[in-house]
Amino acid sequence: MNPRQPKRIVFLTGTRADFGKIKSLLLKLHSDPAFELHLFITGMHMLTKYGYTCEEVEACGLPNLYRYINQNESDNMDTVLAKTIVGFSDYVKETRPDMIVVHGDRVEAMAGAIVGSMNNILVAHIEGGEVSGTIDEVVRHAVSKLSHVHFVANVKAKLRLMQLGEGEETVHVIGSPDMDIMVSKNLPDLKTVQDYYEIPFADYGIVLFHPVTTAVHELADQIKIFVDALIASRRDYVVIFPNNDDGSGIIIQEYRRFKGNRHFRVFPSMRFEYFLTLMKNAAFLIGNSSAGVREAPFYSVPSINLGSRQFNRATAPTIINAEFDKKTIVQQIANSRNIARVQTAHFGSGGSDVKFCDVLKKPEIWTVSRQKYFFDLIAEAAE
């Protein structure tokens, strides 16, 4: 790489969750003169209902930020995808990046990968090759097939991408970038977090529950049972709104039953570092969020995983799987006190930002062919 000609890299962020996962990468590239960083902010970040978290992104002091509203409350996922493609395409034509970086399995990531691949721009995908459950898994694999370079959390993810026909030399194992922040010594202390959010609980669980878009017809019954069980357990809870997938309004409507109940504090969103501190000190996490099968086990925090959303994803001794039955959920909440706190680290242990930056400094990354080919493992095995 020629340091006098920095590579222009555009990241796309659509949710509080994906920003937390790419934040360390953004800060690392921003500090390196070999790169010119740009950030396209859209999705949930732009919605007041979910905390208007674009302001938290901007507070990080990163350069070249661009806000784009890609949805209203009545839009379905396909409409959001279409709107994001239109807006991001115009933005890319003005910015002319050398690389587009997308993360995970949201429709905004798919939009970014579509725009990049259709315009012969190098696309890098963070955390491909994982199983996500529901429509998210389909989106994640589709994003991987539209991408040219892959940065994955572990060897299993790399092997899955190779099963999808991706070339081994394009897949780089760097760990999950959110681990960089999880192991940081700069996380706020618990008192700071509790004072900031006015959380009075000493012993609390965290509630994170999202819609399963492929089973949204079951959601009303499921969330009623879940809320019934939480109230019946008489434990203290910090409740965070779901993502904005189809059906989120049903969940938020049911959460109104917590109003006036001293056992619950409900928030549309929460700063990522503050959330990590809160989770690290929680008695348990309950719901169907990936945080229960990824981040919580790393902190040795018990998690109660409900339903099918995380089906076939990572396992750990601290994870309890349960179906939607009030009595069962209440019992598992009680049982969580007896779970041994052992750490499980399937997704690295920090340093992803350095590994990511090191890969981008290799000249061969920038010469990866925009014309993709399917690398057939079956054909190789047959030879």
User: Which tokens is 95 given?
Assistant: 């910015």
The structure tokens 């049972």 sit at 225
Cβ distance 92 to 10 under 8 Å?
Answer: yes
Amino acid identity, residue 368?
A: V
Name the token pair of 371. 């014309």
Q: Is 307 helix (H, G, I), strand (E, B) or coil?
A: coil
Q: Which of 141, 217, 263, 346 is catalytic?
A: 217
β-sheet with 204-208: strand ranges across: 264-267, 236-240, 204-208, 284-287, 303-306, 319-322
Helix or strand run (H / E) with residue 278:
helix 272-280
> Sheet harboring 122-126: ordered strands across?
65-67, 35-41, 7-13, 99-103, 122-126, 149-152, 171-173
Please say if 217 is a catalytic residue: yes
Cα separation, 234 vs 381, in Å, equals 57
Q: For the chain, how long is the longest CA-to-CA vector?
A: 68
Taking the CA atoms of residue 244, residue 193, residue 23 and residue 21 in that order, the dihedral angle to the nearest 10 degrees is -50
Q: Rg (Cα) of the chain, in Å, rounded?
A: 21
By CB atoms closer than 10 A (0-12, 13-18, 19+), residue 383 is: exposed
Between the two ends of the chain, the Cα-to-Cα distance in Å is 38
Cβ–Cβ under 8 Å, residues 307 and 277: no
- Cβ(44)–Cβ(14) below 8 Å: yes
Active site residues: 217
